[in-house]
Amino acid sequence: MAKVRSFEAGSAKVYILDDGVFVTDAGNLFGGSKKAKIKGAMRPVLIEAGDHLVLLDAGFGPELPEILVGRYELRRDEDMMDHLKEAGYGAGDVTHVILSHLDADHVGWALEPPSLPNATVYVQRAALEEAREMPEGDGRREAVPAVEKGVEEGWCELLEGNGEVVPGIRVEVRSGHSEGHQVVWIGSGGDAALYTADLAPARIWLDPDLIAGVDTDPEAARKNRIEVLTEAEEKNAPVILYHEPKDPVVRVRREGDKFEAEPV
């Protein structure tokens, strides 16, 4: 078993989990008809914060969702649940799940079926509203029935903007990749770490001019990306890159029009 890596952010302990790697045509991520293959990891983040055990995003879940079969390939020997166990926890120990947005590669273990029986799942209301408007067969829209069921049954809570979910863990709405997309600050001041989710999911996004075909609002994404990464640099905060296959934790430094990454 690979070792789960961890680091401290103030009084919180942060584990980088792993839900495997997806492979897809570049065109699925950047638009156009590029046939080159592109690979992305999924790195849900587990945080011990006081009595709380908080998960940030939740991989693809037990299997690749039906709607992605044929377009995406999922490779893994171990999944997020194996890595949770390796960090010393079981599925029942997770108390909070924060979903950055509702794409299928972020919500899997949290929603369908909800595999974390004692967790409350936090979603921005704006993310749910956008997902309802997506076309049939879109990954975000597929998540809607599960979120609505969760709200009805009480295990899913809709957030309205920025705020602390538990002491020391603060969500901030940074739209662009999707409406109501939220990043997460862990700790504060010089002890802070940042989870950027799909606002800047891998090193190539540290060039803010790279327009991802998957951003709903590329201009907003670009502006938010620059603001959030600038703040991370000012705080010297480790930045956790959800889709980065190698060295998912970096410090960033502005270099001309883009940010350079230094593995932590």
Contacts with Zn ion, residue ranges (CB under 5 A): 105, 198
**In this complex, which beta carbon is closest to Zn ion, that of residue 6 or of residue 28?**
28
Instruction: Tell me how far, at minimum, the Cβ of 104 lies from Zn ion, in Å.
Output: 9
**In this complex, which beta carbon is closest to Zn ion, that of residue 115 or of residue 178?**
178
Handedness of CA 107, 112, 115, 119 (dihedral sign): positive
Q: Is 108 helix (H, G, I), strand (E, B) or coil?
A: helix
Token look-up 């949290």 returns 110
**In this complex, which beta carbon is closest to Zn ion, that of residue 18 or of residue 48?**
18
Instruction: Tell me how far, at minimum, the Cβ of 44 lies from Zn ion, in Å.
Output: 11
Q: Is 99 helix (H, G, I), strand (E, B) or coil?
A: coil
Q: CA 105 to CA 140: how far, in whole Å?
A: 10
Instruction: Tell me how far, at minimum, the Cβ of 153 lies from Zn ion, in Å.
Output: 26
Instruction: Tell me how far, at minimum, the Cβ of 241 lies from Zn ion, in Å.
Output: 11
Distances (CA, A) of 239 to 16, 35, 123, 184, 193: 12, 30, 21, 10, 6
**In this complex, which beta carbon is closest to Zn ion, that of residue 12 or of residue 144?**
144
- Other CB atoms within 10 A of residue 33 CB: 7
Under DSSP, the state recorded for 98 is E
**In this complex, which beta carbon is closest to Zn ion, that of residue 49 or of residue 131?**
131
Q: Is 82 helix (H, G, I), strand (E, B) or coil?
A: helix
**In this complex, which beta carbon is closest to Zn ion, that of residue 99 or of residue 261?**
99
- Other CB atoms within 10 A of residue 174 CB: 24
Instruction: Tell me how far, at minimum, the Cβ of 36 lies from Zn ion, in Å.
Output: 18
Q: Is 121 helix (H, G, I), strand (E, B) or coil?
A: strand
Instruction: Tell me how far, at minimum, the Cβ of 152 lies from Zn ion, in Å.
Output: 26
